[in-house]
């Protein structure tokens, strides 16, 4: 009888169709193992070569804020910045745990990466080993391929609590427990204080209690509310104790939402085209996620994994679109959930012997890994990163004598190396303004007029020993942008002279200080 088992010498022998099926499954498993191993090997190679990466771009700015907080400064009140308080707390934690240097921050970035991969593994392990392994390897490669400037980026850090939120949600779908909802809520609460866009995932959590009976539903809602509330209560209490709560509310309601959210918006299609291998990387990850969705969809929409991971991917797309600036690191959440979705699909396709889907998913894995490997090699030591780091160190060398004499320094910059230089030499500014772009947009708006007046009052009351003007403005502008702020230009011209015209920056010193230091190479500090 075809397909039946026979007895041969007391031993059961599989029929040819079953042998063929087992052989095919083993073949696909070997291909999956090869693809995942190659992806992990590429990630490991890039990681080893990245160990010498230094602080650059946004990270030193947040480190500067964190160090000022540790010295007693109040965020928002003493440091005007648009980031949410969770970002500062992360960098405070980094300074306390691993210290202020480049090596410590590199270790911290890799610890966050390891924690995120662990969260993915816990979330996806019940779907099969290929789900956990492929997601971990691909997200690992995705991160280290981005280069030093993406290390410790806020949207990357956001992925750590989001991964653990996903693990708690998927665990609750398998076996509802109030504690799991509390953990999911706490994870989302932490994420929202790093980037408020994380609240886009709140509907995924909010629907879970309503799948329970009435009594259990009340407990589940209470657990979810408690989880969401604990991080909020902790952060608000910290801001209140630091004297920052009013300033934070003022910044969010008066500047962040009505003004900054509209600033620097770009065509997202053009932005992705401008990312290094952006269309290829996103195309590979898109094929990976879509194929995974098809594989999961075969099991019906009642599969909770479909709803959670697809909703996560959609929220990641909105996370990128709503910010509107097109920056590459804003894609981290969509990458996290898209990678998870495709990984679960791969496990389902392999276990269900769906050869076509498995083949498409493995092809998408190969394309994504290859593109990320090329991107990673390009980003190991890109010229623009080296130039930015060199500029920061050059400015720091000029400012070191000023700081040694107790002088303050005001920088007019965004992320081109100004605050990085202050971080390197331990300098302080006479005002709370870290950047200067606030003063050149919506100049007729009352809030911006107040910022301009505050800046001038602070500079006049506490004249810095040196002023550093960076050539490149954001979202546009050059040295000539001061002409759009004539009061500032007049103040600088009346009290300061050009002491150093460097590569992308100019250092000005006070006339009285420069006269006393005539013939010396470096400007002196305040008297």
Q: How do residues 153-199 score in pLDDT, each as one tens digit?
A: 999 999 999 999 999 999 999 999 999 999 999 999 999 999 999 99
Residue 214: its pLDDT value, please?
84
CA distance 368 to 108: 26
- Which ranges of 443-483 does DSSP label H, i.e. alpha helix? 446-461
Q: Are strands 466-470 and 505-510 parallel, antiparallel or unpaired?
A: antiparallel
Q: In 10 A of CB 262, how many CB atoms?
A: 11
Each residue of 113-141: pLDDT tens digit? 999 999 999 999 999 999 999 999 999 99
Q: What is the pLDDT of residue 510?
A: 92
Q: Are the CB atoms for 412 and 422 separated by under 8 Å?
A: no
Prior bond of 204 cis (ω within 30°)? no
Question: Rounded to whole angstroms, how far apart are CA atoms 219 and 214?
Answer: 9
DSSP state of 405: T
pTM: 0.92
Low-confidence spans in the chain with pLDDT less than 50: 1-14, 19, 518-527
Alpha helices by DSSP H, listed for 7-146, are: 16-49, 59-70, 85-98, 102-124, 129-144
Residue with tokens 């500090």: 525
| Residue whose tokens read 């500067």 | 64
Spatial separation of the C-alpha atoms in residues 316 and 334, rounded to whole Å: 4
Show the tokens assigned to 270. 């053009």
For 364, the token pair is 């998408």
The per-residue pLDDT for 297 is 81
CB 151 within 8 A of CB 328: no
In whole angstroms, give the CA distance from residue 140 to residue 154.
Answer: 17
Whole-number pLDDT of residue 382: 93
Q: How far is CA 10 from CA 5, 6, 254, 318, in A?
A: 12, 9, 83, 63
Take residue 103 and report the two structure tokens written for it.
């090596």
Candidates 292, 89, 339; CA nearest to 193 is 89
As given in the structure block, the two tokens for residue 256 are 């962040």
Query: What whole-number distance in Å separates Cα of residue 431 and Cα of residue 383?
Result: 33
Provide the token pair at 121: 């593994």
Across 163-284, the runs of DSSP E, i.e. the strands, are none
């Amino acid at each position: 009888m075809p397909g039946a088992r026979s007895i041969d010498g007391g031993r059961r022998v599989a029929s040819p169709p079953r042998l063929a099926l087992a052989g095919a499954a083993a073949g696909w498993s070997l291909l999956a193992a090869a693809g995942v191993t190659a992806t992990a090997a590429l990630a490991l190679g890039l990681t080893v070569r990245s160990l010498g990466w230094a602080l650059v771009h946004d990270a030193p700015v947040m480190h500067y804020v964190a160090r000022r907080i540790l010295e007693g400064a109040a965020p928002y009140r003493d440091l005007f910045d648009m980031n949410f308080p969770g970002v500062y707390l992360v960098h405070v934690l980094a300074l306390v745990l691993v210290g202020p240097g480049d090596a410590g921050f590199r270790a911290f970035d890799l610890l966050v990466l390891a924690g995120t991969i662990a969260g993915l593994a816990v979330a996806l392990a019940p779907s099969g080993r290929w789900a956990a392994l492929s997601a971990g390897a691909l997200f690992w490669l995705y991160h280290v391929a981005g280069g030093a400037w993406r290390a410790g980026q806020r949207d990357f850090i956001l992925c750590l609590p989001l991964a653990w939120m996903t693990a708690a949600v998927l665990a609750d779908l398998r076996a509802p427990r109030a504690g799991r909802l509390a953990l999911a809520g706490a994870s989302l609460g932490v994420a929202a204080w790093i980037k408020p866009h994380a609240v886009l995932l709140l509907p995924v959590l909010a629907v879970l209690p309503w799948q329970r009976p009435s009594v259990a539903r009340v407990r589940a809602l209470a657990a979810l509310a408690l989880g969401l509330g604990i991080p909020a209560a902790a952060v608000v209490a910290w801001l209140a104790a630091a004297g920052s709560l009013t300033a934070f509310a003022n910044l969010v309601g008066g500047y962040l939402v009505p003004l900054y959210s509209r600033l620097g918006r770009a065509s997202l299609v053009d932005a992705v085209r401008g990312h290094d291998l952006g269309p290829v990387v996103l195309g590979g990850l898109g094929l990976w996620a879509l194929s995974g969705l098809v594989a999961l969809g075969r099991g019906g929409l009642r599969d909770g994994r479909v709803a959670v991971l697809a909703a996560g991917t959609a929220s990641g797309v909105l996370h990128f679109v709503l910010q509107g600036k097109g920056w590459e690191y804003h894609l981290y959440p969509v990458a996290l959930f898209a990678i998870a979705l495709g990984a679960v699909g791969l496990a389902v396709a392999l276990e269900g012997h769906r050869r076509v889907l498995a083949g498409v998913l493995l092809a998408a894995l190969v394309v994504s890994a290859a593109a990320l490997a090329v991107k990673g090699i390009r980003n190991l030591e890109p010229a623009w990163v080296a130039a930015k780091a060199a500029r920061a160190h050059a400015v720091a060398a000029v400012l070191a004598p000023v700081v040694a004499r107790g002088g303050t320094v005001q920088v007019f910059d965004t992320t081109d190396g100004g605050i990085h230089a202050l971080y390197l030499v331990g300098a302080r500014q006479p005002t709370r303004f870290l950047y200067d772009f606030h003063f050149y947009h919506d100049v007729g708006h009352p809030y911006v007029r107040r910022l301009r007046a505050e800046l001038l009052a602070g500079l006049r009351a506490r004249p810095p020993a040196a002023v550093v003007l960076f050539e490149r403005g954001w979202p546009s502008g050059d040295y000539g942008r001061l002409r759009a702020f004539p009061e500032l230009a007049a103040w600088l011209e009346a009290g300061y002279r050009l002491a150093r015209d460097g590569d992308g920056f100019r250092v000005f010193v006070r006339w009285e200080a420069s006269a006393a230091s005539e013939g010396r190479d470096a400007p002196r500090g305040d008297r």
